[in-house]
Amino acid sequence: MKVNPVDGSIDLPDHVDSSGVKPMSYEEEQLIRVFYEQKIQEVCTAFKFPHKIQATAIIYFKRFYLQWSVMEHQPKNIMLTCVYASCKVEENHVSAEELGKGIQQDHEIILNNEMVLLKSLDFDLIVYAPYRSIEGFIDDLEGFCRAGNGAFQRLKELHQMAISHADKMMLTDAPLLYTPGQLALAALHKCNDILKVFDFERYLETIFSRQHSNCTIEQFVQSINAINYLVDQLKMPSVKDMRHLDRKLRHCWDPSSRDEYGIRRKRRSQNTNRKEHLLMPSSTARKRIVEGLV
């Protein structure tokens, strides 16, 4: 067994005895998915993509693995394809070649998985993320708080902290279970508990007084608490965890998929003289992403 120093991939023998291989447990698959969802965030940050692209790519990744197992489709390949598709849908197009070269991955892997991804999503590609909702609530809070210069600065701090908290939410199942508005208010509620910028319960009352809803404030607060509970329970895999999980995952894959990956990687190494593209992450960011990819 050899480890590729560039992308961290492992070359396994041509013939692997799979008779004693145990499938991955639900918990193990979940850790792998969370790891690659976090990698989506790192890739998007390195390319300076807006949060909308990051959120869309993560939702695509989550929805894809509602139908498939990480033992059936390599999550690293699907992760990159999700970022590529997200850029297309959000009209911030980056070519597959540019994306692949930016993080030293074979762009053909992205293209070969694109149709599999789109079919698995039933071509339903519109995604709503909590970030615009957070921005809308912050604008509304300026009037609610009658923000002066001091209050405006505190709302700005609340806004930034809520975005960071929403990033954590995106790594849980919450985006599949709750609306963007609920996610946004849950993020603001959690961060306001720390910063104490405004009276959250009174603000909820003003929101509910403006609209007719069958949902009570108490029920809505329960939803918010449930969302933040998911964030509190989020477990991030350690480097040691991922080494073990990656080793086990590679034994679970069909040998033909490993052969195909090896062919693609060889083809990538033969195409090193292609034209450089302008939109690339910094060398430091690119190195960090490549070293982190399993």
Higher pLDDT, 164 or 216: 164
What's the predicted TM-score (pTM) here? 0.78
Residues 162 and 134: beta-carbon distance below 8 Å = yes
Q: What is the pLDDT of residues 188-202, one digit of tens each?
A: 999 999 999 999 999
- What domains can be seen in the chain, in order of their start residue? 2-12+25-126+238-292 (1.10.472.10), 130-169+172-232 (1.10.472.10)
Q: Please report the DSSP string for 145-170 in residue order.
A: TT--HHHHHHHHHHHHHHHHHHHHHT
Using CA atoms, how far residue 150 sits from 38, 143, 147, 193, 199, in Å, is 34, 14, 7, 18, 16
Q: Report the DSSP beta bridge partners of residue 11.
A: 2
**In percent, how much of the chain has pLDDT > 70?**
78
Residue 72 pLDDT greater than 50, yes or no: yes
**How much is the pLDDT for 169?**
96
2: DSSP letter? E
For the segment 121-140, the average pLDDT, to the nearest whole number, is 95
**How much is the pLDDT for 253?**
72
| Largest interatomic CA distance in the chain | 70
3-class DSSP state for residue 199? coil
What is the rounded (10 degree) CA torsion for 221, 225, 226, 229? 180
Residue 15 pLDDT greater than 90, yes or no: no
